[in-house]
Amino acid sequence: MTVNCSTTFSKQHLLSKLPIPDLEETCRKYLDAVRPLQTYAEHQRTKAVTAEFLANEGPRLNEMLKEYSKDRSSYIEQFWYDSYLNYDNPVVLNLNPFFLLEDDPSPFASGSQVNRAASLVISSLNFIRALRREELPYDNVRGKPLCMYQYSRLFGTSRIPNQDCCIMQTDTTSRHIVVVARSQFYWFDVLDENSDIIISEAELSRNLETIVSDAQDIAITEAAKRAVGVLTTENRRDWANLRDVLTNGDDANNREILSIIDSALFMLCLDHVSPENLADLSRNILCGTSSVEKGIQVGSCTNRWYDKLQIIVTKNGSAGVNFEHTGVDGHTVLRFVSDIFTDSILRYAKSITGSSPSIWPSQGPDPVSLRNTKPFISIVPRRLEWTLVPELSIALRFAESRLSDLIHQTEVETLEFRAYGTDFIKNSGFSPDAYVQLAFQAAYYALYGRCESTYEPAMTKYFLHGRTEAIRTVTDECLAFVRKFCEDAPAIDKIESLRRACDRHSQLTKQCSQGLGQDRHLYALLCMWQREFLDDEKGSSEWEAGSAASASAPQLPGIFADQGWDKLSNTILSTSNCGNPSLRLFGFGPTSPDGFGIGYILTSNSISICASSKHRQTKRFLETLQNYLLEMRNILRQNSRAKAASISGMNSDLSDGRLGRKLKTTAVVKEDEEDEAGDVMGGYGYFDMGEMDALLKEFSKAPVNSTPYSVSTAKGVGLGPVTNGSHESEGSRPASGATTPRTGAAKYRAKNIGRKLKLIDY
């Protein structure tokens, strides 16, 4: 992505609306997406309900959608907002992603919490100033402009819980920030009415030093009692009730505090912890740390406010961003963090050379001089002190306990793979993103022997108010590749199978980026059905009236009640590629209790991955993934050398008429490079897929309540001991009381099977 030096919103009028795809094409793509996840019988049922949908409700709902979209910027936008705002579970570890920034290159900020935080805040204020003055260059990809609307939802925005659903609130005139240190809240102004910066970096550092010192003076037991930010991690309806408790009554203090927090430009969280390894750093930016001492939570998990954009800086100067996802996607926040990281580098360069280029089109007045002309402006920090009634103190205690549960239930692991990156992948003839997506599938298949529903977002910001479309990685070609990879097949067969799967993935990515996927269209049709029946006041009352009314209640279209829709919607591998050199890692929590959340960053010579799950052997999954990446490189190199040797042999037969004997050239190969990869198959070796299919077919003879991947031990269906190479089931054994005569050595054969061990001498 590049930026154009024209005004921020100057290209918005040129953007077309997101297209509503052809309904038949959407249904065809839906069947393609769900087929690799189903058995033959399951897929036949899904085909039947899809055909019924096309013949009945589908066209009518599609026409309703077209009519609905006529006076809207996007047919999916409001439905997409509602899907987030109606979400009732805690946003932490469920909705909010994070970015972990690279370390600051300047010695001034490196390792210093206050200096790093001050640098990031000043750069952020420069970004906000350029955005509000509409001087921020618009995003574009290869000269094609992207929608900039999401930037208006980035600052001064808060998610407000209500009883029915949450709402998004944005204060476009916000001038202050809120700082959280040891779970205490502070605030001060940073901009004037023209969005010019009114505080210098040195003054900002002094403010932050003052805040940190004040927070340290508060007894840990008192700090825990005022850790109101932990309430933002509660179930949304519970949080709505607690906000009502906070704001009810004659005391307006809490209402004022909430107004200050809700309208703040962003939150700055100064953590008192210093995680050292990457996994702990990632966990801290994603959800904070949990540590209980003498019954009191002393981790950083309570030092947050998850309803807003948060810049988080640890005690040793590591920094990241955690953001509320409803109004903005990763691509938008990535532009923000990239710009502020770049600005911090350029300002450091200026301190060395006295001058350096700036990424901002204009510079504001000197902050100190500006304040001298406006004596009413104050930049002194103030601590916000809540009025807490007894029931709120109890609520804080229980909210912290539940948050600690969530944190301890979630694994976060990281992999910084530096053996190769996009350069090697491209030189091998593959799309880097498709190559890594297929790596996730191969690693999962090697561990579990199946493919599961996988999600990757494709950006649709080429369109007005565009968000994302779902790329469904698991295709017929993907399934064929992972099966081929797990066989003891020739290298060229594995490579060609991978190439077909990657080509298919790239094709899907292109279609989805053009707004021609199936997920968003089908979801919008489901929402239209809900609007027609569930949101209709009369229909809703009749539906809830009792059994007599429910007999005539509208039936959900079969395509959405089908097992195929549920299976595709239950994302086991939720993945996203988002990053550039300003980031070290990017990640989020799993979207399914049985799934993985996988954020990854691709550079020319590395692949950085952060994976999370509800204790699904996350570390083992990443180790398997690393082994696959190394083994695939070995396969590609071996094939490349085989081709080179073949060409060299052909050339040796040709005489160029020159004197002398031509020497054979050899590639320089790192010692033991082919032995770097661990065992992708976990020591079990490659297996023949024909044998695997035969085994699964044998399993399928079991009763309906048995799954293809488990062996029941009930009489008649369990697999008995193997004798002479055949399976002997319980059902084939002699009836109770019958005997099988054995004579001679056959009586004692069982004793002689295996290698006799030599007894230890005592």
Task: Quick: pLDDT tens for 131-185.
Answer: 999 999 999 999 999 999 999 999 999 999 998 899 999 999 999 999 999 999 9
407, 434, 465: which is the final residue of a domain? Answer: 407
Domain membership of residue 155 (yes or no) is: yes
Query: H or E stretch including 187?
Result: strand 184-189
Q: Mention every residue, 6+ apart, whose C-beta is less than 8 A from residue 61.
A: 525, 528, 529, 532, 557
Q: Which 3 state secondary structure label does DSSP give 486? A: coil
Query: H or E stretch including 415?
Result: strand 411-417
Q: Which of 13, 43, 325, 727 is catalytic?
A: 325
Cβ-defined contacts of 551-556 (< 8 Å, 24+): 556/529
pLDDT digit string (tens) for 586-599?
999 999 999 999 99
- Tell me the C-alpha distance between 389 and 397, whole Å: 13
> Phi first, then psi: what are they for 48, rounded to 5°?
-65, -45
For the chain, give the longest Cα–Cα distance.
111
Question: Tell me, what's the pLDDT at 292?
Answer: 93
Query: H or E stretch including 267?
Result: strand 267-270
- Cα torsion at 235, 241, 242, 247 (round to 10°)? 150
* pLDDT, average across residues 301-315: 98
Q: Which 3 state secondary structure label does DSSP give 254? A: helix
392, 407, 422: which is the final residue of a domain? Answer: 407
Question: Tell me, what's the pLDDT at 544?
Answer: 38
DSSP state of 197: B
pLDDT digit string (tens) for 548-576?
444 456 899 999 999 999 999 999 999 99
- Tell me the C-alpha distance between 614 and 633, whole Å: 31
The tokens describing 406, both together, are 């969530």
pTM for the structure as a whole:
0.87
The tokens describing 536, both together, are 């209709």
Question: Tell me, what's the pLDDT at 225?
Answer: 84
CATH of the domain at 421: 3.30.559.10
Domain membership of residue 550 (yes or no) is: no
Residues 519 and 371 in one domain: no
Domain membership of residue 291 (yes or no) is: yes
Question: Tell me, what's the pLDDT at 746?
Answer: 46
What are the distances in angstroms from CA 330 to CA 129, 336, 373, 446, 569? 21, 10, 40, 30, 21
- Whether 325 is a known active-site residue: answer yes
Residues 279 and 354 in one domain: yes
Residues 138 and 167 in one domain: yes
Confidence of residue 749 (pLDDT cuts 50, 70, 90): very low
pLDDT digit string (tens) for 615-666?
999 999 999 999 999 999 999 999 988 877 776 666 555 555 555 555 554 4
pLDDT digit string (tens) for 407-447?
999 999 999 999 999 999 999 999 999 999 999 999 999 99
Question: Tell me, what's the pLDDT at 540?
Answer: 37
Q: Report yes or no: 607 and 438 within 8 Å, Cβ to Cβ.
A: no
* pLDDT, average across residues 508-533: 96
- Tell me the C-alpha distance between 361 and 10, whole Å: 15
Question: Tell me, what's the pLDDT at 655?
Answer: 52
Confidence of residue 355 (pLDDT cuts 50, 70, 90): confident
pLDDT digit string (tens) for 275-293?
989 999 999 999 999 999 9
Angle CA 340–344–348, to nearest 5: 165
SS (H, E, C) 29-68: HHHHHHHHHCCHHHHHHHHHHHHHHHHCHHHHHHHHHHHH
> Phi first, then psi: what are they for 229, rounded to 5°?
-60, -25
Question: How many residues comprise the chain?
Answer: 762
Among the residue ranges 158-167, 199-208, 371-380, the one predicted with the least confidence is 371-380
Residues 149 and 212 in one domain: yes
DSSP state of 20: -
- Tell me the C-alpha distance between 88 and 159, whole Å: 12
Residues 601 and 499 in one domain: yes
Q: What's the chain's Rg over C-alpha atoms?
A: 30
Domain, as residue range, for 19: 12-84+412-536+558-634
What DSSP line would sit under 352-392, residue for residue? HHS----SSSS-PPPHHHHHHT-TT-----EEE-----HHH
Q: 46 pLDDT exceeds 90?
A: yes
Q: Which 3 state secondary structure label does DSSP give 620? A: helix
Question: Tell me, what's the pLDDT at 676?
Answer: 60
The residues with which 321 forms a beta bridge, in sequence order, are: 99, 311
Look over the chain and give the mean of its residue pLDDT values, rounded to a whole number. 87
Question: Tell me, what's the pLDDT at 221?
Answer: 83
Task: Domain count for the chain, please give it.
Answer: 2
pLDDT digit string (tens) for 537-550?
443 333 333 344 44
Provide the residue type at 753 as one letter.
I
Q: 523 pLDDT exceeds 60?
A: yes
Residues 393 and 435 in one domain: no
Q: Report yes or no: 331 and 578 within 8 Å, Cβ to Cβ.
A: yes
Confidence of residue 708 (pLDDT cuts 50, 70, 90): very low
584, 612, 634: which is the final residue of a domain? Answer: 634
CA-based nearest residue to 226, from 383, 391, 396: 396
Residues 436 and 307 in one domain: no
What count of other Cβ atoms lies within 10 Å of the Cβ of residue 539? 15
Sign, CA dihedral 57-61-64-66, equals: negative
Centroid of chain to Cα 416: 17
CA-based nearest residue to 170, from 188, 158, 187, 186: 158
> Phi first, then psi: what are they for 740, rounded to 5°?
-115, 110
Confidence of residue 740 (pLDDT cuts 50, 70, 90): very low
Domain membership of residue 541 (yes or no) is: no
Query: H or E stretch including 607?
Result: strand 606-613
Q: 485 pLDDT exceeds 50?
A: yes
Angle CA 130–362–313, to nearest 5: 50
The residues with which 177 forms a beta bridge, in sequence order, are: 188
Question: Tell me, what's the pLDDT at 729?
Answer: 37
Question: Tell me, what's the pLDDT at 757?
Answer: 59
Domain membership of residue 682 (yes or no) is: no
Residues 21 and 80 in one domain: yes
Question: Tell me, what's the pLDDT at 353?
Answer: 84
Q: Exposed e or buried b for every residue in 566-588, given b needs 16+ CB within 10 A?
A: ebbeebbbbbbbbbeebbbbbbb
* pLDDT, average across residues 118-124: 97
Q: Report yes or no: 520 and 535 within 8 Å, Cβ to Cβ.
A: no
With a pLDDT cut of 70, the percent of the chain lying above it is 82
Q: Exposed e or buried b for every residue in 256-272, given b needs 16+ CB within 10 A?
A: ebbebbbbbbbbbbbbb
Question: Tell me, what's the pLDDT at 27?
Answer: 98
What are the distances in angstroms from CA 671 to CA 382, 503, 630, 674, 677? 62, 33, 15, 8, 13
Domain membership of residue 704 (yes or no) is: no
Residues 389 and 420 in one domain: no
- Tell me the C-alpha distance between 159 and 149, whole Å: 18
What are the distances in angstroms from CA 196 to CA 150, 277, 626, 716? 22, 38, 48, 79
CA-based nearest residue to 577, from 418, 455, 445, 428: 455
Q: Mention every residue, 6+ apart, whose C-beta is less than 8 A from residue 50.
A: 27, 30, 31, 559
Q: Mention every residue, 6+ apart, whose C-beta is less than 8 A from residue 699.
A: 706, 708, 709, 710, 711
Confidence of residue 720 (pLDDT cuts 50, 70, 90): very low
CATH of the domain at 370: 3.30.559.70
Domain membership of residue 713 (yes or no) is: no
Residues 181 and 140 in one domain: yes
Question: Tell me, what's the pLDDT at 761?
Answer: 62
Question: Tell me, what's the pLDDT at 549?
Answer: 42
The residues with which 161 forms a beta bridge, in sequence order, are: none
The tokens describing 612, both together, are 């999370």
DSSP state of 731: G
- Tell me the C-alpha distance between 63 and 286, whole Å: 42
Residues 598 and 517 in one domain: yes
Domain membership of residue 717 (yes or no) is: no
Q: 721 pLDDT exceeds 60?
A: no
What are the distances in angstroms from CA 370 to CA 200, 206, 702? 11, 19, 80
Residues 427 and 384 in one domain: no
